[in-house]
Amino acid sequence: MQYLDPNRVSADQYINGVLEGDLVMLARALSLIESSRIADTSLKLRVLEGILPKTGNALRVGITGAPGVGKSTFIEELGLMLVEKGYKLAILTIDPSSQRSRGSILGDKTRMDKLSKSDSAFIRPTAAGSSLGGVAQHTRESILLCEAAGYNVVFVETVGVGQSEIQVRNIVDYFLLLMISGAGDELQGLKKGVMEMADGLAITKVDGENIHKAKLTQTTFQNALQYLVPASSEWQPKVFTCSAFNKTGIEDIWDNVEQYFQQMKDNGYLEHQRQNQRLIWLDDCMRSEITRHFQQINKDEGSFERLKGQVQKGTILPNRAVVQIIEQLISK
Ligand code: GDP
């Protein structure tokens, strides 16, 4: 692979490369949008604006579940099925543990080995880096780049450890929660918040001795779901069972995703949800830009650290601190 100096790749080169589905340029563009260098900001924006007219056409699906639930095995089987059906699939994986533990749950093992060899699949891991908000931001932009490169299904995979699900829910159309059998009250309580966000739930590893237990779990979750508000308009989430080992139940889950898209396209909800998501994106951008600018001022004057110290001691209210931050930003 020829080394391309990012400083010498023009916006047009990025745009044309991505639109042609050139994998090297797609990978370079994905690295560019993850760059935190202020010097890259304007190039990044020009690239994204250049590809924007060719975006929006993918089925954006979020897939979450606890470590070990069987995400990568499931995604590989589902992915191979989609490739077989003629889809082009991009998989963006977010691992919120990677920063804390300095190792990555998702990256520790060779994942999706067969799928990664397919020409119709593109897999891109993202470490959480310094902030989860930042990852959501990059992932939104990554989805757009993958769509522009011709991928018509985008999976956003995240490890369900609590913080990341809501972020992912806000950037995808359909949100799938993977769970294992075992329907104790404790498990339900833990999952309730995430269950409310899900458009579909699937119990994994339903093979061998698990089959009986899984049926009970399925009924319990299906009953629990009736009392939760449906995440999406006019959509009643279902609980599926599947086994990636036996390749069972996977087709039904995908049928449900396709059914969702058809129904939500027809009733206008899909567009409504994407419009709302763009507003959340705007909100996130504002917050991160203001923080970035203020941190810059702090670098010069130490004022953010001073204010933080005062807030910590309770000698100044956080809202007063924010007023001062904004005043300083305006005066610059
Ligand atoms: P992840 O951490 O959620 O990505 O989970 P993995 O896909 O790595 O799977 C975790 C473990 O569950 C591995 O040992 C897999 O072999 C096993 N596993 C995955 N899918 C199945 C399945 O359909 N049936 C059974 N019995 N085991 C599975």
Distance CA 5, CA 25 (A): 12
Structure tokens at 230: 């449906």
Judged against a pLDDT cut of 70, whether residue 171 lies above it is answered with: yes
pLDDT of 256 reads 98
Residue 61: in which H helix or E strand, if any? strand 59-65
Residue 95: in which H helix or E strand, if any? strand 89-95
CB 244 within 8 A of CB 210: no
pLDDT of 98 reads 52
Q: How far is CA 91 from the centre of its chain?
A: 10
Distance CA 100, CA 128 (A): 9
Judged against a pLDDT cut of 70, whether residue 235 lies above it is answered with: yes
- Give the whole-number percent of the chain exceeding pLDDT 90: 52
Answer yes or no: is the C-beta of 98 below 6 A from any ligand 1 atom.
no
pLDDT of 112 reads 86
DSSP string, 290-315: HHHHHHHHHHHH-HHHHHHHHHHHTS
Residue of 165 and 95 predicted with greater confidence: 165
pLDDT of 103 reads 45
Poorest-pLDDT segment among 50-59, 205-214, 252-261: 205-214
Judged against a pLDDT cut of 60, whether residue 99 lies above it is answered with: no
Judged against a pLDDT cut of 60, whether residue 148 lies above it is answered with: yes
Residue whose CA lies nearest to ligand 1 atom number 17: 70
Q: Please tell me what DSSP assigns to residue 248.
A: B
Binned at pLDDT 50, 70 and 90, residue 108 comes out as very low
Residue whose CA lies nearest to ligand 1 atom number 9: 70
Dihedral Cα 80, 83, 88, 90, nearest 10 deg: 0
Q: Please tell me what DSSP assigns to residue 231.
A: S
Structure tokens at 42: 């304007």
Binned at pLDDT 50, 70 and 90, residue 79 comes out as very high
Q: 258 to each of 56, 168, 174, 262, how far by Cα in Å?
A: 16, 19, 10, 6
Dihedral Cα 117, 59, 219, 215, nearest 10 deg: -20
Judged against a pLDDT cut of 60, whether residue 6 lies above it is answered with: no
108-112, 151-155, 307-311, 324-328: range with highest mean pLDDT: 151-155
Strand stretches in 141-275, DSSP E:
153-159, 174-179, 200-203, 238-241
pLDDT of 5 reads 58
Answer yes or no: is the C-beta of 207 below 6 A from any ligand 1 atom.
yes
Ligand 1, atom nearest to 243 Cα: 23
Answer yes or no: is the C-beta of 238 below 6 A from any ligand 1 atom.
no
pLDDT digits (tens, 9 = 90+) for 265-313: 999 999 999 999 999 999 988 888 888 777 777 766 777 888 889 999 9
Which of 73, 180, 203, 213 best tests ligand 1's pocket when mutated (most atoms within 8 Å of CB)? 73
Judged against a pLDDT cut of 70, whether residue 232 lies above it is answered with: no
Judged against a pLDDT cut of 50, whether residue 255 lies above it is answered with: yes
Distance 68 CA to ligand 1 centre (A): 6
Answer yes or no: is the C-beta of 72 below 6 A from any ligand 1 atom.
yes
Judged against a pLDDT cut of 70, whether residue 102 lies above it is answered with: no
CB 136 within 8 A of CB 34: no
As beta bridge partners, residue 109 has none
What rounded mean pLDDT belongs to the chain?
85
Residue whose CA lies nearest to ligand 1 atom number 6: 70
Answer yes or no: is the C-beta of 281 below 6 A from any ligand 1 atom.
no
For 4, phi and psi rounded to 5 degrees? -110, 120
Domain 1-54's class? mainly alpha
Task: Please compute the mean of the pLDDT values over residues 206-229 and round it to a whole number.
Answer: 84
pLDDT digits (tens, 9 = 90+) for 290-299: 887 777 777 6
Residue whose CA lies nearest to ligand 1 atom number 20: 70
| 1-54 and 56-266 share one fold | no
Residue of 6 and 332 predicted with greater confidence: 332
**Nearest Cα residue to 80 out of 122, 116, 115:** 115
Answer yes or no: is the C-beta of 205 below 6 A from any ligand 1 atom.
yes
Distance 200 CA to ligand 1 centre (A): 19
Residue whose CA lies nearest to ligand 1 atom number 24: 205
pLDDT of 194 reads 79
Ligand 1, atom nearest to 111 Cα: 8
pLDDT of 273 reads 95
CATH 3.40.50.300 assigned to domain 56-266? The reply is yes
Residue whose CA lies nearest to ligand 1 atom number 21: 205
Amino acid at position 174, single letter? Y
Answer yes or no: is the C-beta of 161 below 6 A from any ligand 1 atom.
no
pLDDT of 78 reads 97
Ligand 1, atom nearest to 109 Cα: 8
Ligand 1, atom nearest to 75 Cα: 7
Residue whose CA lies nearest to ligand 1 atom number 19: 70
Task: Please compute the mean of the pLDDT values over residues 162-186 and round it to a whole number.
Answer: 80
CB 150 within 8 A of CB 21: yes
pLDDT of 132 reads 55
pLDDT digits (tens, 9 = 90+) for 7-41: 578 999 999 999 999 999 999 999 999 887 778 88
Distance 77 CA to ligand 1 centre (A): 11
Which residue bears the tokens 């806000």? 170
**Nearest Cα residue to 178 out of 61, 282, 289:** 61
Domain boundaries, the chain: 1-54, 56-266, 275-331
